[in-house]
Each structure stands twice: as C-alpha cells, then as structure tokens.
Amino acid sequence: MLMYVVRRILQAVPVVLGTTFLIYFMVFAMPGDPILAMFGDKTPNPAVYEALQQQYHLDQPFLVQYALYMKDLFSGDLGTTFSGQSVADVLARTFPVTLKLAAMAISLEFVLSVVVGLVSGLRKGKLFDNVMLVVGLILLSVPIFVLCFVAQYFVAIKWGWASPTVGADTSVGNMWLPAVVLALSLFTTGMRLMRGTVIDTRSRDFVRTAYAKGLPGRRVIPVHVLRNSLIPVVTNSAANFGVLMVGATVTEGIFNIPGVGNTLYQAIIRGEGPTVVSFVTVMVLAYVVINILVDLLYAILDPRIRYA
Amino acid sequence: MPKPEHFVAPFDENEMAEVDKVKLNEKPSNLWRDAWRSLRTRPLFYLSLAAVLVIVLMALFPTLFTHVSPTDDCQLANSNGGPAAGHPMGFTRQGCDVYARVVWGARTSLTVGVLATVISGVIGIITGALAGFYGGWVDSVLSRIGDIFFSIPYILAAVVIMTTLADYRSVWTLAFAIGGFAWASLARILRSEILRVKSGDFVMASIATGRTRFKTLLSHVLPNSMTPVIVYLTISLGGAIVAEATLSFLGVGLGPSVMSWGNDISAAQSSLRTAPMTLIWPSIFLTVTVLAFITLGELVRDALDPKARARG
C-alpha cells in the first residue's frame, strides 16, 4: 500500500508543475500586456498596476517569473483578490460553507444513485428502469444553470417552498434547494454506475450460490449484491465531493451562497482578471490533490487496484 | 426425408440461436450494418435525429423559421411582454422577439460547438494515435501532457483564456478555449483502442508487405479504431454546446451583441420573477439540442457495442 501511495504521489508531481505552468503560460505569455488584458476595457489604477507587476514579477524573464510564482505559491502566498484581501483568507472564510453544501449534495446524490441504481439494475428493462434511464439522460443534458433557474423559479418563487437565494444564512434548511440541484446534476453518472455494477454482480457465481443454498432475496440482495456493488459508486461520489469542494461556481453564484465557487463567480462576472487567475490556480491544484485522495480511497476499498 | 434447409439445428431450439442462424441470402454483416439494424428499431433514435436536423436547419437557414428580425424589430414598449400574434414566445426585456432570438441563437451554439469538437477531435486523435501506436517515449511524453490537460477542469481553463483574451473574443478563440482543453479524454480513449487494434494480424500483414509504419497507422489501424472516437465526439458536441452557453452565461463568452442562448439566458435572469418564459424558452432549446446530441451518441454507442446489446 505504501508503495502505491508513493507511486501515486510521484506521478502527480509533473501534473502539478504542468498545470500551474500551463495556467501561468496562458495568462502571462500571451501577446500584449497581461495586466492590462486582465482588466479588459477598464484601465487599472497605476498603483494597482505596479503592485500586480511586482506580485507577478513581470520585470523578470518568463521562466524566472514562473519559478518565483511557484515559490510564492508553495510558501502559502496564494495571491490577492481585487479588493486586496489575500486569497488564502478568502478561502478560509468561504470554505466551510462550500464544504457544508458539498456534504449535503453528495449525501443526497449517493443515496439517490444507490437506491435508484439498485432497483433499476434488479429490474433491468422493466418500466422503472426505462423511465429512470430517460430521466437520467435528461438530467445529464440540462446545463447546470438552467437547472438552477428552473428550481429557483418553480420551487422557490412560484411555490414558495424555499428561499430563492441563500445569502448570509447558510443553515441546512436554507441551503437545501441548491443542494438538491447539485445532487440531481450529478445523479446520472452515479445511478448508471450503480445500475451497471448491480447487473454485473447479480450474475456472479457467489450470488447464484447464495440463492442455491436457499437464502431468500431479502438477504441476498442487501448482503451479497448491494455490498459488492458499492465500491465504484463510493469512489464516484468521493470524486464528485472533491469537485464540489473546489466550488460549484455557477450554482453558488446563482443561489448567492457565500462559498468558494461564488467568489470566483463574482470575480468572473465583474471581470476581475487577477482574482480569477489566482482562484483558478488554487482550484486546479486542489483538484489534483483531491484526485490523488480519491485514487487512494479506491485502493483502500479495492485491493485489486493496489496490487495491479 | 426432405433435405434440411440448415446444416445446424433450427435456431429456435437453443440459446445460441443468433450465432447458429445462417442467412445465406443476406449481405455479409459488418459492425455498422449490425448497429443500423438495432438502431432502426429505436424510436428514440429517430426522435433525436429529427431534433438534430431541425437545429442544423435552424442554424443554416434561420429565415425558414422566422421572418421577424431578432435585433431590428425590438420595441421597448413590448419589454417582457407575453405571447402576441406573430410572436409565440413573447418578448425579451429589450422588447425583442424571443422566438426569433432563439432561432438565430442556434447558429452560435452549433458553430462554436462544432468548431470546439473538431479542434478537440484533431488534437485528441493525433496525440492518442501517436501515443498508442508508437508507444515508448512518444507514449510517455504525450500521455503525461494529456494528464496535465486532463486535470484542469475545462470550464475553468476556458474562463482563464477568455478573461485573458478579453480583447480578442471571437468564435475561434472561444472554440479554441473549449476544444483546446477538452481533448485529453478522447486521446485516452483512442490510445487504448489503438493498443487493442494494433496487435491484429492485419497490422502485421500490412507491415510485412512493405508499408511503412506510419502508412499502416493511417490506412489500417486508425480506420479500425474510429468507432469509439465517433461516439465520443457526438456526445462531446453536446458538452461543447453546454460549455459555450455556460461561458456566455458567465459573461466570458462572445460579447452581448452576439445572439447566443447563453447570453439570452443571462440577460433574462434579472426578470426571472416577472417574465420567466423569456428565460425558459432559450433554456428549453439549449437543453433539447444537448439532449439530442447526447442521446444520439449514446444510442449509437449501445448499438455498436455487442456486449451492451446482449445485456439489453
């Protein structure tokens, strides 16, 4: 197991270097003045301009710039936002909200995927299965912002079951609607994974043996089929949890949830280039780390992975 | 005793019926003909194909669908107005005809979607084919580059590119921002398919008859590995359309002067309470388009995959 962990982390080193370099390259090696470009039509305040030039070491050659930037990044200086707060501070403030939202959404997504996937897999080709396949296809195709607006309009505004935006009150009761939206947007992949695994597990020899020795379905299904079908869905949900922790940018933005994603959303909407770049870099790094953790989780749950 | 028609048992007597069935008078079967035989029984296939055709027609010839101009016939007096004669979907906040804007918006979505898919297709096919066929250091280098692109969520990358290129926003930059980061999964899929195909005897035969390895790759290996690529590209066309709409919605797509479903949805969100249909109509068109491409791709995939067919 230790070997696997070491190998997996070593594999990530070039990816981390590559992704940061790529983002840095996209921003700072483009033709023209990168700082002016980040501000779009607006002209930055000369003081801001100078500070940014200093922060990104633009007076140095490109590779030196990148090296200095990486040094800053790994010594904990993640950059500053437009209004001068450090990105690390903003992350510390917004992260708990995002974590809560992600936990709510993923619990729901997991339960829905497992239950629907199990029933669909056991009744393959029947009415419920076919209906759920179509529902899944639709949920897979609806862009997340459309899903957000539909939920906001019908559930919150028209029927009044939830508040249309979340704002400062980030209690579970106030955030259930965006959590449901996120869960639905992730539902199809999990459900299909579960359905496929259940169909596969059900035809295994050990399940046939269990039936053959006279066990009733109410024991075979939960103990033999369900438990042996869970690993892919668990890892899928863990990966999704990682993605959501990095921030559900659009959903948090539309529902005005003060989380990580919303900060990026606001920065994009207002055209605050420097904030966008700092945030995206941190998010991509977090995403890489989370992918490693998910792979490790997979290896813990399924010994076949780590011995392969 | 009459002469038997088949030299095997009648096919309804055992479970291997499909295997044993000998159809002497039919054309020889191949993967695509089998796929077509299973596709043509699926009503969903015709439905999604029809939707795709309508959207393509809309993008090519918008005037077939509406004679109202989406930009010139706007009157503020009609702002957020409901459906009226000749304006079945009502008016936007600026008093423009929603139906006309939705029809004209198809062109943007489809252009950016197709361009982005072509770009990611070209990059993905080249890297995937070279990595899979040549192996060795070529594979290591290309696969590591692919890993890097694979670990950047492509919406985030496109946001960064479009923010940086704020002054150069065009259909091309947008398509490059989306397609330039979406190719890594395709390269992975093609790479593993080529690894499978290249061990075939016909590949060795081709090299033995004196074709160079590169020509063998082009004329034998690649054509035999295209099935998953075509399926993936169909599905990812839907994804590219979503990406365009999302970026336009976030205000980092094409400028607000361009007619695009994402722009229209973004502009309508401030009137969600009073005029929800202004937002819902472009959303419906967007969703149906994406749904049609994804359904089409998945149906073709199921039809091409004999294992999936056996599972039912």
Mean pLDDT for all residues in chain A:
84
H-helix or E-strand spanning residue B179:
helix B171-179
* Partner-chain contact B294 A140, CB within 8 Å: yes
Average pLDDT on A282-291 reads 82
Is A26 near chain B, with CB under 8 Å? yes
Q: Which parts of chain A fold into alpha helices (H)? A: 2-28, 34-39, 46-55, 62-74, 87-122, 127-141, 144-151, 172-202, 205-212, 217-219, 227-246, 249-254, 260-269, 273-301, 303-307
Q: SS3 string of A45-113?
A: CHHHHHHHHHHCCCCCCHHHHHHHHHHHHHCCCCCECCCCCEHHHHHHHHHHHHHHHHHHHHHHHHHHH
- Residue whose structure tokens are 């009073």: B274
* Å between A288 CA and nearest CA of chain B: 6
- Residue among B203, B116, B99, B222 at smallest CA distance from B162: B116
Q: Report helix, strand and coil shares of chain B as percent, to nearest 5.
A: 70, 0, 30
* Residue B196 to residues A44, B132, B222, B224, B225, Cα–Cα distance (Å): 55, 9, 11, 10, 9
pLDDT value of residue A249: 86
Give residue-wise pLDDT tens across range B104-159. Answer: 889 999 999 999 999 999 999 999 999 999 988 999 899 889 988 888 887 888 88
Round to whole Å and give the CA distance between B296 and A106.
29
β partners of residue A86: A80
Q: For residue B141, how far is the Cα from the chain centroid?
A: 28
Per-residue pLDDT at B311: 46
B105-119 pLDDT, tens digit each = 899 999 999 999 999
Please name every residue paired with B91 in a beta bridge, in sequence order, or none if there are none. Answer: B97
Question: What is residue B37's predicted lDDT score, i.e. its pLDDT?
Answer: 82
Give percent above pLDDT 90 in chain B.
Answer: 26
Q: Which two tokens stand for residue A272?
A: 């605050």
Among A200, A288, A159, which Cα is nearest to B310's?
A: A200
A118-157: per-residue pLDDT in tens? 999 999 888 999 899 899 999 999 999 999 999 988 888 8
pLDDT attached to residue A22: 83
Residues 153-172 (B) with a CB less than 8 A from some CB of A: 153, 155-157, 159-161, 163-167
The C-alpha atoms of residue A81 and residue A96 are separated, in whole angstroms, by 19
Record the pTM: 0.84
Residues of B in contact with A18 (CB under 8 A): 144-145, 147-148
DSSP B253: S
Question: Can you tell me the distance from the alpha carbon of A44 to that of B179, in angstroms, rounded to the nearest whole number?
Answer: 31
pLDDT of residue B307: 59
Please write the tens of the pLDDT for every residue from B56-107: 999 998 888 887 777 777 777 777 777 777 777 777 777 788 888 888 889 9
Partners of A276 on chain B (C-beta within 8 Å) are: 159-160, 163
What's the average model confidence in pLDDT over A6-13? 84
Burial class (CB in 10 A: 0-12, 13-18, 19+), B34: middle
pLDDT at residue B22 is higher than 70? no
Give the chain B residue nearest A290 (alpha carbons): B151
**What is d(CA B287, CA B268) in angstroms, rounded to the nearest whole number?**
16
